[in-house]
């Protein structure tokens, strides 16, 4: 008998429930999982303000459902649900009807206007992907138009912005807009003083979910960002070109073309339809039992924003936040699994929330986080770090590496105007074609070294014993006696530290000058037995050039591997030598041609690390490490074969089932 699970809504709660159920029943063909949503994507509602104020691209908040459920037993239906028949267990959609054995209602929310005249018709909403795009283009058009207006009254009207609601949505939108204004005014040559941003709320402080001291910090920051905070103020009416506010019994009319509504939410329309049959309250939130089932229907699970549940010992319903969506999704999936499998006991929902955080633009935030009985306030930098870290944790659950990389790219690597809590320090600004000469030169050095080693007998004679031993003896002679003059080790040093492989020719000066000169120990630190950092010069410091300084990491486990495996016999030495020579030649050719630049640069760095841990490196060759890092990402896409090869491989890799299922590809 086939058991049908239907999830209405692919928001935070719905998408996680579907993934957990798919994992639970991946080997059970008798269970089908269907997700219904009117959009083919999952939108990051908590990040809408970033798109609305043009900080990140719109695709950064959009996650394809097709990609999320690739390789999983989840049938995604693009449809609009209109009504339910709970007795017959049928969901009625615009395109088709869906029978179910268990339904999960996770349709999300919509803005509520509290009966404010004109609000729904004339205010801009900020509760969907489309809303963010509309506001983004509206703001741009307002400034584009204002720069051509000479009439000061009309100009002021265009450049006056009102945001209704001083909760999370309103405050974050106000902060984001205030951060954007100096950028867009500069673009259109508008005086920043001509722009007015107001945030209005009937409450007496911002973000009532936070303690008063953090609300105070938020209000001070808004003031610093030149946002007027109008608290204890009610919105009476909104028109096409005005908003009316009431404070202390006095009603005031303000001219504006932009009113953004962020004052509250209620359950989505389809949840309202369910609320006509199922017991509900508080803006159509469905009442549920401790197992997340409707109190009227045990086959209907309600999670996320749609649930109305007061945990034992609490006096308020669970908040409509993302963490509640995540927790309720896990419990709902577990309990449905128990019912279908007939094994285990269902769990009661006992959420333990870990705090709240709010960002005012990309540079500043406040947060109160921790555990239910022990919360702490975080300073701005840590608050912003926590916000991004939590987002990354969520993305790992939803779309793995693919979305994590995309998120980091949008938030850090391509951010403009320093709109990040780390400024623009990670943002790519240097044209990549400037790396081409460095890439080619690095490749040429590797190729030269590989060829010279091949001609020097590395394919036929064991050399590593003397190679490693000579280097170790040289370092020991300096550390233990202060002299580098032991002629017996000079030859080993020339081969070892002068290049630590791949670098002898590059430095030129190497260990050949050690001779009988006095060496100097600069650093010899032992880090609790894990490794030893050695930094020496082959000469007295007053006589040392850059090519006389050498650095080595002495790692016991690597030394053991070298002694017991690599130096176990002549055949093994020749095998390792041959592998190094071939690797150096291949790295050189790849970097010169710009083909498979990422793996070539990565192997280059691995070899350099190996040399640092066995023979050490002269400082004159450290440039190769930094060059390898510089060309690691995208170094071959400019004047290189990767320009042609990588797009073809990328498109092929995205179609491989395991890559789609594990999200191990980049869009």
- 3-state SS of 23-39 is HHCCCCCCEEEEEEECC
CA distance 463 to 573: 7
Residue 489 clears pLDDT 80, i.e. is over it:
no
Number of Cβ within a 10 Å radius of residue 26: 12
CA distance 27 to 501: 52
Number of Cβ within a 10 Å radius of residue 346: 17
DSSP, collapsed to helix, strand or coil, labels residue 285 as strand
The architecture CATH gives domain 119-263: 3-Layer(bba) Sandwich (3.50)
pLDDT value, residue 488: 36
303-324 pLDDT tens trace: 999 999 999 888 889 999 999 9
Share above pLDDT 90 across residues of the chain, in percent, rounded to a whole number: 84
| pLDDT confidence tier of residue 466, bands split at 50, 70 and 90 | confident
Residue 500 clears pLDDT 90, i.e. is over it:
no
Residue of 1, 604, 643, 21 whose CA lies nearest to 303:
21
CA distance 53 to 488: 69
| pLDDT confidence tier of residue 481, bands split at 50, 70 and 90 | low
In a 10 Å sphere around its CB, with 0-12 CB exposed, 13-18 middle and 19+ buried, how is residue 408 labelled? middle
CA distance 68 to 154: 47
Residue 105 clears pLDDT 90, i.e. is over it:
yes
Is residue 268 within 8 A of residue 262, CB to CB? The reply is: no
Residue 484 clears pLDDT 70, i.e. is over it:
no
45-95 pLDDT tens trace: 999 999 999 999 999 999 999 999 999 999 999 999 999 999 999 999 999
Output DSSP code: residue 294: B
Kindly indicate whether the domain formed by 3-109+267-347 is annotated with CATH number 3.30.300.130: no
228-253 pLDDT tens trace: 999 999 999 999 999 999 999 999 99
| pLDDT confidence tier of residue 518, bands split at 50, 70 and 90 | low
Do the bridges between strand 62-64 and strand 75-78 make them parallel or antiparallel, or are there none, so unpaired? unpaired
376-421 pLDDT tens trace: 999 999 999 999 999 999 999 999 999 999 999 999 999 999 999 9
Is residue 277 within 8 A of residue 86, CB to CB? The reply is: yes
pLDDT value, residue 542: 86
pLDDT value, residue 33: 98
| 428 CB-near residues (< 8 Å, 6+ apart) | 413, 414
526-564 pLDDT tens trace: 998 899 999 999 888 888 999 899 999 999 999 999 999
Extended beta strands in 38-115, E state: 41-43, 62-64, 75-78, 81-85, 90-93, 97-99, 102-105, 109-111
CA distance 634 to 597: 8
CA distance 440 to 181: 44
CA distance 444 to 429: 27
pLDDT value, residue 6: 98
Residue 138 clears pLDDT 70, i.e. is over it:
yes
Sequence ranges of the chain with CATH classification 3.50.50.100: 3-109+267-347, 119-263
pLDDT value, residue 492: 41
Residue 469 clears pLDDT 90, i.e. is over it:
no
Backbone φ and ψ for 249, nearest 5 degrees, come out as 80, 0
Mean pLDDT for the chain overall? 91
The mean-pLDDT minimum among 181-195, 351-365, 600-614, 630-644 falls in 630-644
Backbone φ and ψ for 302, nearest 5 degrees, come out as -125, 125
CA distance 508 to 499: 9
pLDDT value, residue 17: 98
Do the bridges between strand 307-308 and strand 196-200 make them parallel or antiparallel, or are there none, so unpaired? unpaired
Residue 515 clears pLDDT 60, i.e. is over it:
no
Is residue 8 within 8 A of residue 322, CB to CB? The reply is: no
| pLDDT confidence tier of residue 467, bands split at 50, 70 and 90 | confident
CA distance 633 to 611: 23
| pLDDT confidence tier of residue 504, bands split at 50, 70 and 90 | very low
| pLDDT confidence tier of residue 433, bands split at 50, 70 and 90 | confident
pLDDT value, residue 312: 86
């Amino acid at each position: 008998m086939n058991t049908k699970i239907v999830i209405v809504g692919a928001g935070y709660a719905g998408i996680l429930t579907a993934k957990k159920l798919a994992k639970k029943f991946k080997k059970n063909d008798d269970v089908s999982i269907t997700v219904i949503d009117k959009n083919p994507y999952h939108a990051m509602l908590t990040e809408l303000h970033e798109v609305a104020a043009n900080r990140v691209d719109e695709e950064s908040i959009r996650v394809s459902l097709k990609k999320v459920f690739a390789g999983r037993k989840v049938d995604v239906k693009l449809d609009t649900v209109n009504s339910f028949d709970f007795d017959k267990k049928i969901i009625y959609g615009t395109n088709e009807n869906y029978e179910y054995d268990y339904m999960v209602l996770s349709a999300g929310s919509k803005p509520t206007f509290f009966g404010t005249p004109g609000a729904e018709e004339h205010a801009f909403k900020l509760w969907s992907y489309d809303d963010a795009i509309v506001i983004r283009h509206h703001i741009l058009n307002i400034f584009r138009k204002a720069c051509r207006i000479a009439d000061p009254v009309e100009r002021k009207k265009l450049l006056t912005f009102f945001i209704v609601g001083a909760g999370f949505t309103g405050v974050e939108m106000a902060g984001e807009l205030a951060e954007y204004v100096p950028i867009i005014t500069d673009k259109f040559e508008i005086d920043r003083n001509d722009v007015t941003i107001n945030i209005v709320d009937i409450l007496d402080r911002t973000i009532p979910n936070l303690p008063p001291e953090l609300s105070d910090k938020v209000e001070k920051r808004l003031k610093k960002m030149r946002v007027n905070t109008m608290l204890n103020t009610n919105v009476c009416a909104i028109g096409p070109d005005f908003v009316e506010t009431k404070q202390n019994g006095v009603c005031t009319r303000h001219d504006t073309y932009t009113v953004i509504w962020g004052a509250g939410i209620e359950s989505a329309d389809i949840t309202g339809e369910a609320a006509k049959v199922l017991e509900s309250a508080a803006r159509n939130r469905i009442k549920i039992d401790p197992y997340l089932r409707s109190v009227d229907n045990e086959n209907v699970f309600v999670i996320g924003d749609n649930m109305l549940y007061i945990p034992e010992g609490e006096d308020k319903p669970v908040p409509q936040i993302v963490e509640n969506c995540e927790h309720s999704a896990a419990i709902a999936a577990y309990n449905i699994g128990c019912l279908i499998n007939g094994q285990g006991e269902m769990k009661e929902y006992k959420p333990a929330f870990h705090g709240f955080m709010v960002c005012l633009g990309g540079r500043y935030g406040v947060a109160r986080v921790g555990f239910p009985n022990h919360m702490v306030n975080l300073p701005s930098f840590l608050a912003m770090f926590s916000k991004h870290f939590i987002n990354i944790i969520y993305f790992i659950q939803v779309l793995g590496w693919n979305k994590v990389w995309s998120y980091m790219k949008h938030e850090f690597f391509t951010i403009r105007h320093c709109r990040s809590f780390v400024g623009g320090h990670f943002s790519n600004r240097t044209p990549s074609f400037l790396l081409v000469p460095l890439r080619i030169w690095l490749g040429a050095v590797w190729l030269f070294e590989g060829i010279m080693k091949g001609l020097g007998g590395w394919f036929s004679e064991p050399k590593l014993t003397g190679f490693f031993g000579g280097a170790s003896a040289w370092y020991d002679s300096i550390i233990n006696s202060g002299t580098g003059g032991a002629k017996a080790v000079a030859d080993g040093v020339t081969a070892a530290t002068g290049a630590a492989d791949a670098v002898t020719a590059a430095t030129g000066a190497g260990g050949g000058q050690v001779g009988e000169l006095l060496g100097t120990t600069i650093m010899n630190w032992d880090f609790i037995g894990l490794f030893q950092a050695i930094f020496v010069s082959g000469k007295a410091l007053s006589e040392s050039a850059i090519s006389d300084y050498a650095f080595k990491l002495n790692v016991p486990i690597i030394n053991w591997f070298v002694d017991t495996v690599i130096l176990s016999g002549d055949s093994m030495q020749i095998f390792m030598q041959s592998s190094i020579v071939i690797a150096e030649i291949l790295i050189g050719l790849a970097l010169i041609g710009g083909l498979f630049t990422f793996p070539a640069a990565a192997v280059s760095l691995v070899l350099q690390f190996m040399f640092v841990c066995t023979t050490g490196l002269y400082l004159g060759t450290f440039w190769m490490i930094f060059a390898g890092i510089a060309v690691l990402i995208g170094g071959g896409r400019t004047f290189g074969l990767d320009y042609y090869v990588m797009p073809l491989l990328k498109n092929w890799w995205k179609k491989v089932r395991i890559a789609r299922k594990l999200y191990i590809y980049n869009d």
